[in-house]
Amino acid sequence: MIQIGNVCIYGNVALSPMAGISDSPYRQITRKLGSAFSYSEFVSTEQIVQGNQRSIDMFRFKEMERPIFFQIFGSEADTVIEAAKIIETLQPDVIDLNMGCSVSKVAHHGSGAGLLKNLKVASHMIEGMRKSLSVPVTAKIRIGWDENNLNYKETVHVLQESGVQAISVHGRTKAMAYTGRANWDVIGEIKSLAKVPIFGNGDVSTYQEALSLQDRYKVDLVLIGRKAIGNPWVFHNFSKSNQDRREIFRTMKEHLESMLDFYRSEDEYALILFRKHFVKYLDSLSFPTDLKTKMLQMTSVNEFLENLYFGLLHPDERQGELKTESLSLNCESYV
């Protein structure tokens, strides 16, 4: 068990926060399949303070997702603190400051990994949130801006002195983005120096690999990001390759239905958003290429699900099942 303030986390592995991926529908799937807790997508504190409802709606969640970490980003300390107070009313378990996003439009404007170059501001943010909130405050960092500026020791020291209660570490620099290999030796060094729980992140492909890294580097928990897209089974001791195709279909169908519910009255939008998951679910699976291409253009949920079902089945299983299964998929709940 990991203790962060009054929040208890059970488990070894969790879904890393990812823009456009870790929305409530996918968090529900991954929690069900073993992710230890949930991170929201990161949300601009400026948009929160301005009352942008679409941004605030990104924090919607279901109780089964708890513990739920709301992740925010910003460059102005007062705005970050004010935004944190606003979203605390939505009852998250933890509020997390993103200090790791490497995207230029974020980092080069002083947010995300940009805070690694301005630790004084980051310190004010963490300290201000700790004083203003009743929920724990955490942060997600990278190991430095580039190879010539590996300031992870200073970063961790400043955040701890400011009152941070856990730190997630992506083992790359801002300059690396997602190239090269994550430096787990640095993550392990941070863990050996830290006084708060440390979550390690970077290049983790399987549950077994996560446990091995946890054992070797003694981190409190391992985060899995890109390798979890289309593979929610990665959070438990089994893999997608061992799943029955009907189970894969059921999981994909449940995921899409959850997206339809979350993005209510926007069925076509939900289906468009699901496409990035769809292509990843099909990784390593035999699936007709022409059918996949066709499905990426579909706007009818029923048509999409029907083609998905029969595309996943082996050819000799397709005959004789179309009529029965079509009837069960052709229902108004998707409309």
**Does residue 323 register a pLDDT over 90?**
no
Give the separation between CA 18 and CA 5, rounded to whole angstroms. 24
Instruction: Name the class of domain 2-240.
Output: alpha beta
**Does residue 266 register a pLDDT over 50?**
yes
Say what the pLDDT of residue 268 is.
Answer: 85
Say what the pLDDT of residue 236 is.
Answer: 87
101 catalytic per annotation: yes
List the binding residues for FMN. Answer: 17-19, 71, 140, 170, 225-226
Say what the pLDDT of residue 264 is.
Answer: 81
Residue 180 and residue 137 in contact, taking contact as beta carbons nearer than 8 Å:
no
Residue 198 and residue 169 in contact, taking contact as beta carbons nearer than 8 Å:
yes
Region of residue 180 (left: phi > 0; alpha: psi -120 to 50; beta: else): left
The stretch 73-83 carries a mean pLDDT of 98
Who has greater pLDDT, 324 or 183?
A: 183
Please tell me whether the peptide bond between 67 and the residue prior to it is cis, using omega within 30 degrees of 0.
yes
The stretch 52-73 carries a mean pLDDT of 97
Whole-model pTM? Answer: 0.91
What confidence tier does 314 reach under pLDDT thresholds 50, 70, 90? low
Catalytically annotated residue among 49, 72, 101, 133: 101
What contacts 290, CB < 8 A, 6 or more positions away?
none
Q: Where are the domains of the chain?
A: 2-240, 243-334
Say what the pLDDT of residue 267 is.
Answer: 73
List the binding residues. Answer: 17-19, 71, 140, 170, 225-226
Q: Across the chain, what does the average pLDDT equal?
A: 92
Who has greater pLDDT, 49 or 319?
A: 49
